Amino acid sequence: MTSQQKIIATTEKYSAANYLPLPLVISRAEGVWVWDTDGNRYLDCLSAYSALNQGHRHPRIIQALINQANRLTLTSRAFHNDQMGSFLQQLCDLSDMEVALPMNTGVEAVETAIKAARKWGYDNKPIERDRAEIIVFSHNFHGRTVTAISLSSEPSYRRGFGPFTPGFRQADYGDLGAVKDVLTNETVAVLLEPIQGEAGINIPPEGFLSGLRKLCTEHGVLMVLDEIQTGLGRTGKMFCHEHEREAKPDILIVGKALGGGVYPVSAVLASHEILSVFGPGTHGSTFGGNPLAAAVAKAALDVVEQEQLPARSAELGDYLMGELNRLPQNDIAEIRGRGLLIGIELKKSVVSARPYCEQLMRRGILCKETHDRVIRLSPPLIIEKNEIDHLVEQLNSVLTGDFARQSSEKLVSSS
């Protein structure tokens, strides 16, 4: 048994089996590259599900972490600290929002936004207590808590975890008419991802977000955007909703790359009016807004802005899409994406994208399947053109290889 196999065996023995990772053990990383315990190098094209927009171990973010860790790490919100205020000011200025509430993980921020929307609805609309409704969309992904999976249309996310949180109505993603059909006098908000990442990089029709903005305004309903994955440059704009005019949300949820790949940081941003629904004792988090998180997030935002990562994502995303569209279309049904968030959907005759990802791993490329038949590509935004060329070269070899006809089960058992 190799050293990697021993580590994997120990991990699988003592870890709940709620993930099916690719069979390698990463031990160090830098920039867009990672190395396994045997010294093999891989191009990271997943970026920890877009949490590493700035790349692995960006020197400025690591230095901010070290400097702050040597001074102060945690106070709780029982006291002020000297980092949170300037962090929130920077984030609000960047997003053109008035006020922010810091949390830790993305799903915590989603839960916070849901609570804020409901409380705002009761304070501002004639809705009976416990009757507020939020419209969500088919194939959404907002996290794994009971409330988050209560929004989901994916059976595998929900099976065995009921009873579910009430108060949500589903509409077909990208369909304004479907939203109108489920709008009621008890609707307080519409919650969505501007691009559905986990669902396979689903992009709504042009004008959908701006149309939804107009509809929400007309009906006195909050528009809540989950930009945990799409924010901070990933799609070629600082925030994905900026691709459309007049699509600014009432509540903006951010996370992942906000922590620069070294610390979990998330936040909910809105107007003073909306977030004033929270008074002392109504909502909180021991670690939310802690000084270590705030210092790291400030450095992470500095890198995104000063290294012009949204513009890089736009330019390199266009380049990558152009190169991908030159690939043989043997097994490809569709290639879709925006910036450096791209999905390669395989034809229905292909059982799973998993074996393609495993073969890419063997060729030094790390990516992951999503929604069975989609290969998700989301490399760090600091990637260079020659590294994109290397990615496309390996994709070409894999997509034209005989192995592509094999079943996922065979490849898993042989790895």
Instruction: Please identify every residue annotated as catalytic.
Output: 141, 226, 256
C-alpha torsion sign, points 228, 113, 95, 177: positive
Residues contacting residue 10 through CB under 8 Å, at least 6 positions apart: none
Partners of residue 341 on adjacent β-strands: 338
DSSP per-residue letters across 264-313: --EEEEE-HHHHTT--TTSS--SSTT-HHHHHHHHHHHHHHHHTTHHHHH
Among 374, 395, 385, smallest CA distance to 195 is for 374
Residues contacting residue 367 through CB under 8 Å, at least 6 positions apart: 45, 46, 357, 360, 375, 376, 377
Contact 268, 274 (CB under 8 A): no
**Cα dihedral: 310, 227, 43, 54 (round 10):** 50
C-alpha torsion sign, points 237, 238, 239, 241: negative
**Residue 26 amino acid letter:** I
Contact 288, 104 (CB under 8 A): yes
Helix or strand or coil: residue 11?
helix
Contact 139, 204 (CB under 8 A): no
CA-to-CA separations, 206 to 140, 194, 198, 376, in angstroms, rounded = 18, 11, 20, 22
| DSSP code at position 233 | T
The residue written with tokens 């990615």 in the block is 391
**28 vs 189: CA distance, rounded Å:** 43
Q: Phi and psi for 279 in degrees, rounded to 5?
A: -110, 175
